[in-house]
Each structure stands twice: as C-alpha cells, then as structure tokens.
Structure 1
Amino acid sequence: MKLDAIDLRILEAVQRDGRITKVALAEEVGLSPTPCWMRLRKLEKSGIVSGYHARVAVRRMAPVASVMMEVTLENHRRADFDRFERAVAAITEIIACWSVGGGVDYILKIMAADIDAYQRLVDGLLDREIGIARYFTYIVTKTVKEKTTLPLSVLLSAPDAPNS
C-alpha cells in the first residue's frame, strides 16, 4: 500500500493517542473528518494499523522483574527453531521474542513477579527440553528509553513526510 504524507500524519497521531477523536485527528492532519476517517479505516483494513492498546505502568501497582535473555539452541534445524518458538509463544511472561543473527539465536524480553519467579520460568524451560544449549540473563535495573511509537517518517524516508 502506497502511503502519502497525510497517511503518515494519521499513523503518527494514532500512535501517540489511540483514543484521539475523529474530529481531533482530522484537525491534526489537515483533513475534514469523513475523508480522514475513511483513510484511517483503510489503514486498519490493510493491517498497517494492527490494533490499539493501553500502556500499563505495572511498577505503580507492584514491583516486577524485567529481564532480557539471550538464548542459543543446541541444534539449528527448522524443527528445533519451531519447537522453541512454540514453547515461547505459550509462556505469558515472555512478552517479546526476537530471532536474531549473530552469536545467539534469540533475544527474549520477560516480565516476572520477581527474580525467583523468573528463575522458576527458566527452570521450566530447561526441564521441557526445548533445545536450549545456553542462555544469558540480563536484569533490567533502569529503563533509560522505551518508546512505543515508531519513527515512521525516518523509517519510510518520505521526503514530504512530517519531521523529515
């Protein structure tokens, strides 16, 4: 789908505020409400806008452990990757998993109630024999930067896009 500068402004606006009203969105991007709403619906139907969510500040409710984990598998056949990925997909505390190139196979982001809960999760992964050869744990001690919006204008290199 070809996007123009207005589409990018719509995407940037709904990333910042998924609850923005139709009228406010239209004003922000410089369209009247109906064409603006039609563009947003087209972006949703195409899958470019894949959903809306609320950011929850869990640490305001309870202390939690944020952990990054590197995983290297014993074997590197398609079946080995599939088995590991199925196991990871089924574990609620694993909130992100990236298959990466380089010295490790995966990087996981895990949120656990505490370090003991994280260790129980790891022990469970190892007990399941899903092909983990080794893993390294990195406890997040401070969040320096964590954005939820994508820098669309930069990523898409649109010459007439906002902020370019």
Structure 2
Amino acid sequence: MTGMRVKLDDRDIQMLSILQREGRITKTELARRVNLSPTPCWERLQHLEKLGVIQGYGARVDWSMISHQTVVFMQAELASHQAADFRGFEQKVQDQPEVLECWALGGGIDYLLKIIAPSVDDYQRFVDRMLNAEIGLKRYYTYIVTKRVKESSAVPDDLLTELKS
C-alpha cells in the first residue's frame, strides 16, 4: 500500500505518537493512555500494522558501545538517467548490508546513502564493489561522520496532528 494516504483520527495519531517513543509499552498501558479498553486499542493497532502505517518494532542500538563502526554518507550520481539504470542501481543497493538507508533525490545528485562499515578501508572495499558491479555509478562523494549530534526517527507530534483526516 505504499504511496496510499491513510486516514487517521485523533486516537490513531495519539497511539502513533506514543508508540514511536515507547515501542515497548504494554498494550494495556497504551489502551489506558489513549482512553480505550484493551480490545478496541488492539484492533486499531492491528489495523495500523495491516495498512503498513506501523512497519515494525525494534530497539535503537548504540553500536559504538559494542564495537567500532564508521558511518559514512555517500552521494551517488549515475552516468545514465534511464528508468532501467535507476532500477539496477536500486536493486544493487538492496543487496548491500552496509547500506542502512538510501534516498533518491531531486537535483544534482541522484542518491544519498547512509552506510556503516567497520573501518574506512571496509567502506572503500564497498565502494570498489559498487564501481565494479557495472551499475552505472559515475561519481560519488564520501562524507565520514565524525560525531552523531542528533538522531531520531520519531515524527514530531505537531506534524502527526496535521495528518488528521
């Protein structure tokens, strides 16, 4: 259902707001906080999951506490801009475990990738693989992350409220 707009009411928005910050909240506590009994709350939650609004649950892990990792942002530009070229690049990116996130961009650069590797040398081996894969990677720019300043995947509550149908 990607691309489809889902209509949300105040209670759905309230549930999403809570869940994106407190993913381990019990269903009973979630129901209490949104002023519903557990069964209707559970049904709403299942509906949001089925629609794909809620894509999953997980822990945010600070990998720097466990091992050394290098985070790199890469701007990528393709040599050709045919639909098949974009599909080929995007498929190759899907197969790369080092790529945490990839966005297609409008403007001068085609893609922005967030990559994690044990070292800069490992990142360079990743780049060499991508260049040798013959997927049309014309040019790339590398930005090594020196410090994480802020990281959040939670949508601000005021923007969630604007989603109300």
Residue pairs, 1:1-164, within 5 angstroms: 1-151=6-156, 153-155=158-160, 157-158=162-163
Gaps in structure 2 of 5+ consecutive residues: 1-5
Q: 1:85-124 CA distances to partner (integer Å, 9 max, x unpaired)?
A: 1111100001111000011000000000011100111011
Q: What's the % identity of the aligned pairs?
A: 49
Tell me the number of residue pairs that the alignment of Structure 1 and Structure 2 aligns. 160
Distance 1:60 1:91 in 2: 24
- Do the aligned partners of 1:5 and 1:158 also contact (CA within 8 Å) in 2? no
Give TM-score scaled by structure 1 length.
0.91
1:12 CA displacement? 1.1
1:155 CA displacement? 4.8
- Do the aligned partners of 1:65 and 1:112 also contact (CA within 8 Å) in 2? yes
Give TM-score scaled by structure 2 length.
0.91
Distance 2:118 2:151 in 1: 20
Distance 1:148 1:12 in 2: 12
CA RMSD of aligned residues (A): 1.6
Gaps in structure 1 of 5+ consecutive residues: none
